[in-house]
Amino acid sequence: MTNILLHGCNGRIGQAISRIVKDHQNLNIVAGVDPNLSVPNAFPVFDRIENCTMPVDVIIDFSTASAVRPLLEHAISKKIPVVVCTTGLSPEDIDFLHEASKEIPIFFSANMSLGVNLLITLAKRATEVLADCGFDIEIIEKHHNQKVDAPSGTALAIANAITDTLDQNYELRYDRSGVREKRPKNEIGIHAVRGGTIVGEHDILFAGNDEVITLSHSAASKEVFAVGSLKAAAFLAPKTPGLYNMEHLLNQ
């Protein structure tokens, strides 16, 4: 049995994880951490991770960007693996995460959905085939009106995967307003839509002469991210220090 500490347990995805963990026979949430202690849970919840006295095998983090570094510092001191699912991390946070992975196992993905990560794999293959044939590439992401970061971490992960596949340098273009010029070939447009309760939608558009190919993923609920995080926790718990991602999980 893998015992989990759920960091950010009273957020929307934290609560989704709590609901579906019962479907995973070898996983158990033994404690949670959240500054909001008003939500009832089937496990003890602490307002600060330093106050948690429960022995755990792995931490799942769905909190806020500002909480990630203190979490990793605590995890290093206790030698606990961490699945970092929080988005909106700064470059400094990412650098610290990489350093921390030398001390403990860390799983980090811009999106915990298995489907989204398969989408990225398909996008890389499509790029290999289509980029040299003159296809333009655009990424459109849509999220609910409460999301504070734009473009999404997933859109950036898709863009980075595509640019890593290409032989030449491509520029990421976030805004074309006020730019009165033709679209250059070495450009990838990224567009953010915010509205309503959209959980998450990502489209990758490959537009060529007289034909368009679109790769799409749509999440209908937060549970797709919860499922991915639990699979990541089971995968990470026995690992040695290092930085792991969804590609490692999908390829195991």
What pTM value is reported for the model? 0.80
Answer yes or no: is 134 a known binding residue: no
DSSP code, position 186 = T
The count of C-alpha atoms lying within 13 angstroms of the C-alpha of 168, restricted to the half-sphere facing its C-beta, is 8
Q: What is the pLDDT of residues 12-24, one digit of tens each?
A: 899 999 999 999 9
pLDDT of residue 250: 85
Answer yes or no: is 34 a known binding residue: yes
pLDDT of residue 247: 87
CB 20 within 8 A of CB 227: yes
Q: Quickly state the pLDDT bin for 249 (edges 50, 70, 90).
A: very high
Which residues are paired to 204 by β-bridges? Answer: 139, 215
Active site residue 24: no
Answer yes or no: is 133 a known binding residue: no
In the chain, list all ranges with CATH 3.30.360.10. 114-219
pLDDT of residue 167: 75
pLDDT of residue 102: 98
Answer yes or no: is 85 a known binding residue: yes
Q: What is the pLDDT of residues 169-198, one digit of tens each?
A: 889 999 888 888 999 989 999 999 999 999
Order of strands across the sheet with 27-33?
45-46, 27-33, 2-7, 58-61, 82-84, 105-108, 242-244
Q: What is the pLDDT of residues 70-80, one digit of tens each?
A: 999 999 999 99
Q: Quickly state the pLDDT bin for 251 (edges 50, 70, 90).
A: confident
pLDDT of residue 107: 98
Best CA proximity match to 101, nearest among 209, 240, 231, 252: 240
Active site residue 202: no
Q: Quickly state the pLDDT bin for 149 (edges 50, 70, 90).
A: confident
Q: Quickly state the pLDDT bin for 110 (edges 50, 70, 90).
A: confident
Q: What is the pLDDT of residues 163-173, one digit of tens each?
A: 999 877 889 99
- How far is the C-alpha of 53 from the C-alpha of 208, rounded, in Å? 58
CB atoms within 10 A of CB 151: 18
Which of the following is catalytic: 7, 74, 143, 222? 143
User: 2-108+222-251, what's its fold?
Assistant: Rossmann fold (3.40.50)
Helices (H), the chain: 12-20, 65-78, 91-100, 114-130, 153-165, 223-236, 246-251
Answer yes or no: is 191 a known binding residue: no
Q: Quickly state the pLDDT bin for 46 (edges 50, 70, 90).
A: very high
pLDDT of residue 116: 93
pLDDT of residue 200: 93
Amino acid at 134: G
Answer yes or no: is 112 a known binding residue: yes
Answer yes or no: is 1 a known binding residue: no
Which of the following is catalytic: 24, 124, 147, 239? 147
Is the pLDDT at 132 greater than 90? The verdict is: no
In the chain, list all ranges with CATH 3.40.50.720. 2-108+222-251
pLDDT of residue 190: 97
pLDDT of residue 104: 98
- How far is the C-alpha of 183 from the C-alpha of 77, rounded, in Å? 50
Is the pLDDT at 227 greater than 80? The verdict is: yes
Q: Quickly state the pLDDT bin for 151 (edges 50, 70, 90).
A: very high
CATH numeric code, 114-219:
3.30.360.10
% of the chain at pLDDT higher than 90: 81
